[in-house]
Structures are given as structure tokens and as C-alpha cells.
Chain A
Amino acid sequence: MSAVTIDGGGPVVEAPTKTQGYWTGVARRLRRDKVAMACALVLLLILLAAIFAPLVAPVDPAKGSILKRLMPIGTPGHLLGTDELGRDMLSRLIFGGRLSLMMGIAPVFFALLIGSLLGIVSGFVGGRVNTAIMRTVDVFFAFPSVLLAVAISGALGAGIANAMLALTIVFIPPIARVAESVTTQVRSLDYVEAARASGAGGWTIIRVHILGNVLGPIFVYATSLVSVSMILAAGLSFLGLGTKPPEAEWGLMLNTLRTAIYTQPWVAALPGLMIFAVSISFNLLSDGLRSAMDVQR
């Protein structure tokens, strides 16, 4: 019957025997992205400085001096000047990174766990389960995220743990929403249908075929939320709902230094600059990650 002989299957491009894995390819494409790499470097430096703060910081961040209040940037002994209580700004910025980064990353991390679980399950199961979960999530969308965070942490009372809990609750709905839409999209693809046709159960399909194709986009989205979380956390601290003085935290520092905006505007702007640097780095890195994860390129 075979009038046409079967060859290797059309034109074959010479390729190495062993092709590289998907994540190797992502890492290679990400390394070529100069902007993303610069952002990663900035984040890494800030993170390392925060972790090793006691080693890196020149002086004790809590030690004030009545005589040396609001010194300008470049003062000998105080490279970035001092705040309204005469504490060293550089040390406080380094120590403040600890709380600020934690307030940025931890809520998003927990929201990522809970939100993607909710979203993937509702997207995969569909029907009434989907309606139940997603309409509940929609209720939270009715409130602006800042207002919601303020309301929840206000109700729970001031404090770092409560602020983080409030932020986690704020970020679950958007992550669940993204997870649900990506999962719904992937679920309708033929390879999921083919997996069902081969007799695989729901959890096996989610584990092998859904997770790998869904976690990437969700993760990219979550990365972009880290900056939002930091800004919201700074806002909560600013309002007195998050960190309390004398803790060093960028949002709180911005709050206490705002009275000095006319005497030492550059010093007062420093915490804001840090928040800006970290959040824009996270955003650009997540952009880079998004395009590096695009297989077609």
C-alpha cells in the first residue's frame, strides 16, 4: 500500500542529540536580557545587604544623637546624612530593607500558594465549583486594594504580622483570578483532552499537564505584585498600621521624615528612592521573565 516511502519525516534541521530542558532555555534567554540582569543584580545587592545588615551597616541604626540631627548627604561619618533623631540614614536604610523586603515578598508568597490553589482548582473543575470560588473572589475586587489593606489591618490591629496577613488577603483574589483564567485556557487544549483520553485522573493531569504550563504566567504576575506589596506595606506603616517606631522600615522612615522635607529634602526622599528602586527592579525583572518564558522565541 505504501506508494510513498516513509522517510525521517520531512526536512530535518541538524540538531544536537540532546536538546536542553525548558528551564535551561529560559535561563539562557534571561541571561541575554541586559535590563533584567541589571535589575536582578540590584535586587541581589539589596537583599544581601539586608540579610547581612549587622555586618554591612556602619553604625547602630537605633543610636541617635541630639547634636547631629538632619545632617545632609555626604557628612563625614554619615555618608547619607542623619534623620530627625540623628540616626545614621545609611544604616537605617540597610536595616530597613529587612522589614520592607519581607513585607514585599512574604505576603505575595503566601497569596501565591493560596491563590493559585484556588484558581487552578476552580479553573480545572469548572462549573459550579468555579462559580462559587470566583464569585467569592469577585467580592474582594469590589474594594480598592489600598482600602482593603487598610480596612483589614485596621480591624486586626496594628503590627507587622497583622499587616502581612492583611496584604496576603489583598493579593489572593488577583492571583486566583489570573490562575483561573490561565488554567481555563490550558484545560481546553487538546493535550489535556488527550491525557484524559489516555485514562489519567484529575490530579495526575493537574500535576503533569496543568501545573507546568500554568505556574509560569502566575509566577510572573506574582513577581510584579511584590512591588505593589512593598508600596502598600509602606503605606500601612505610613498610616501607623504596620511597623511601629523605632523599627527601621522604609515606609515608616518616609513617614517620620516627611516633616524634614523642607530642611533636608534629599535625605527625606532616600527611603522613597529605595522603594522605587526595588519595585521597578521587580517589575522589569518580571517583564524579562515573561519574555524569556515564551517558548516560541
Chain B
Amino acid sequence: MSSADLSTRADVPLLQVRELVKRFPLKGGMFQRGGVVHAVDGVSFAVEAGETLGIVGESGCGKSTTARLLMHLISPDDGRVLLEGREVGPSRARNEGGTPGGLTLNELRRRMQMVFQDSFASLNPRLTIETSIAFGPGVHGTPEREANARAQDLLRKVGLDPARFAGRYPHELSGGQRQRVNIARALALEPKIVILDEAVSALDKSVEAQVLNLLLDLKADFGLTYVFISHDLNVVQYVSDRVMVMYLGKIVEIGPVGRIYADAAHPYTRALLSAMPTMDPAHRTAAPPLAGDPPNPIDPPSGCRFRTRCPFAEEVCAAREPPLTATEAGHRVACHMAHAGSGHSKAPPLAAAA
């Protein structure tokens, strides 16, 4: 019973991620040694019920890998994922340490669903959209008639008239309509948390706005929690309550959306934000805020991974890796400049921090 109490406790975040690690071994030739890509390297964060956490970063920073790790579509090399305070395990429903009450993958998948970027590739071209939506409930034992009824109901909820659309095939729909179907499919298992991996990135701007508003409406209707992954900073600002910035498989900054967008502490976040397109000519930047590509993730730089591109890099940045520590309530930064006593010349004095 104690485990049940744990899962319903209000003070436990809905989703907790602790020290998640995923390495992809590189296939070398027969006589070469393959390297290892540190796609996600010790990522820890929490998502509260009912909020939207935005994840941003350049391509290759580990956003999508993080999403797949959360869904357990790929298994982590290390670290733990806890949903409702219960540890997710591959098959055995036990928490770490062997105590019962863990979450099986099947239980996880009823609680957490995902929407993919490519609306066409994520729908089976041979199935009608009704069948596609009803597939998930069917897998979990819902009778076909009931699953189809739920599919029709969800189609209505995402703004597609079931009488007109239920029997259609994916290639007969537009991109926006297909992504609505994908959202309906994700909701068919009545999840608590939905991971949106670049879910609106491939859509036209006008359609994107419609789908974003649909997502916000659905969130209110169903009491959902979102993890919203995107490279589009404007969109993330619009939908997120909190924002997490990733660089080369690590979190560099995480905090409330207003705080991050108004007063980012990490130079990488500031560079990303200054690269954001703006309609206001007075705020346009001429010089590129960040030059070059991120370093090779097979062999990341020592210390702070951003130091090779950081205008403020000093010796301490190469020597020690900055920990992700709180600067103030709810705002955490991994930068020596934000940490008192780190040894960086721009770091705040110790007394001020104390």
C-alpha cells in the first residue's frame, strides 16, 4: 500500500528523470576501433503535472534521443525514469532496489505517448486513419467497436469531422490534418503526458498556429502534461511554462520561460535567443551570434562543452565541468560565470551568493 500512497502523493513530480545516459557505439571498420557518441550524457530534470516543458537546442544536441529514452523506445545505458514516483523498468514492475510498485513498459505507454515530426511517415499508409487511431486501444485490449468509437470521438476533438475523415487514408489528407490525426492517435490511450517531438516543425506557419492552439485546448480539456521539443524558439516561448536548453547531450540551463527569454544566464542560451528571428528591425542582429558547428560529440571538449564556441571561455572552463546548479528558485545553469567562487573572472563574488 505504501507504494500506492507514493504514486498519488501530490508533492512528487509527474515525471522525474535522473542522470539519464545514452551512448551510441560507432561501428568502426573491421580493424578500427569504433568511437562512442555521447548522445545524452547525465540528464536530470523533472516535469510537474499540468505544465509544459519546452526542450530546445541545435540539431544533434540530444533532444530527440531524450524523447525516445523517455518513451523507452530505446533503452538508456544508465539513469532512471520515474513516472508518478514509480520507476520505469523494462519488464519487472519493481522500483530500483527491488521494492515492488514499479511501472512496466506497458503501463508506461498507457500514461505517456508521443507525437512525431513527420506526419506522413508516422501513419501507416495502408490503414484508414480511424484504424490507425484505434490500433493503440486495441493493443491494450479495448474491443474493436469501442476503440473505433473512441477514434471517432478523438477525430472530432482534434477538429476533423469523423463522417468525412474516418475512412480516409493518410495520403488523402494535408500535412496539418495528418498531424491532427497523429495527435488523436497519441491521445487514444488516454495518456497523462504527451511528448511532442518537433510535432509542428514541418507544418506551414498558418497551420502550425492552428495545431499549436489545438494542442493548448486539448491540454486544458484532458488535463495533459507536455514535453515540447522544438528548435523553434518562438514556438517554445508560446507554449512552454518552463524551458530546458540542451547542448551536446547535456542540460546547460533550465528555468521558467519568462526568466530564460528575458534574462538567460548561460552564454549559449543568450546566443540562441539572439539568433531568434524577430519582426522588429531595431532588434535585428547582423553578426551571427554563434559561429561554426557544435564540436564532435564523439570526442567532446574537456570541462565545459560549450567553451570552444564561448566568447567568455577561460582556463577554468577547460579544467572543470560546470555543474548544473540553482542560481535562484527554479532556475538552474551550468556555467562557471553564474557560480560564485568558480574561479571564472566574471563569476559573482562569494559574499553576494551567500
Residues of A bordering B, CB below 8 Å: 1-4, 6-12, 15, 17-19, 22, 189-191, 193-201, 204, 208-209, 212-213, 295-296
Contact = CB atoms under 8 A, between A and B. Distances in A.
Interface in B107-160: 109-110, 113-114, 116-118, 121-128, 132, 135-136, 139-140, 159-160
B109 A199 contact: yes
Contact of A191 (B121, B160, B207, B213): B121
B139 A199 contact: yes
Contacts, number: 114
30 contacts: A2-B216, A4-B213, A6-B210, A9-B180, A10-B177, A10-B210, A12-B164, A17-B163, A17-B167, A19-B168, A190-B122, A193-B73, A193-B116, A194-B114, A194-B116, A194-B122, A195-B124, A195-B135, A196-B73, A197-B73, A197-B113, A198-B136, A198-B188, A199-B109, A199-B136, A204-B139, A209-B124, A212-B127, A213-B126, A295-B169
A19 B130 CA distance: 12
Contacts of B182: 194
B217 interface: yes
B164 A15 contact: yes
A27 B217 CA distance: 42
A15 B109 contact: no
A4 to B, nearest CB: 5
Contact of A189 (B121, B172, B188): B121
A9 B126 CA distance: 22
Interface in B211-230: 213-214, 216-217, 220
Among A4, A11, A19, A198, the most chain B Cβ lie within 10 Å of the Cβ of A198
Given A6-B213, A19-B172, 11 more contacts: A1-B220, A2-B213, A2-B216, A4-B210, A6-B210, A7-B210, A12-B164, A17-B164, A190-B121, A199-B189, A201-B139
Contacts of A11: 174
B192 interface: no
Nearest to B113: A197
B10 interface: no
**Chain A interface helix/strand/loop/mixed:** loop
Given A22-B169, A199-B139, A213-B124, A9 B176 contact: yes
Contacts of A12: 164
Among B123, B139, B171, B189, the most chain A Cβ lie within 10 Å of the Cβ of B139
Interface in B48-65: none
Interface in B194-217: 207, 209-210, 213-214, 216-217
Contacts of B171: 295-296
Contacts of A15: 164, 168, 172
A213 B191 CA distance: 28
Contacts of A198: 109, 113, 135-136, 139-140, 185, 188-189
A22 B169 CA distance: 8
B73 A199 contact: no
B135 A200 contact: yes
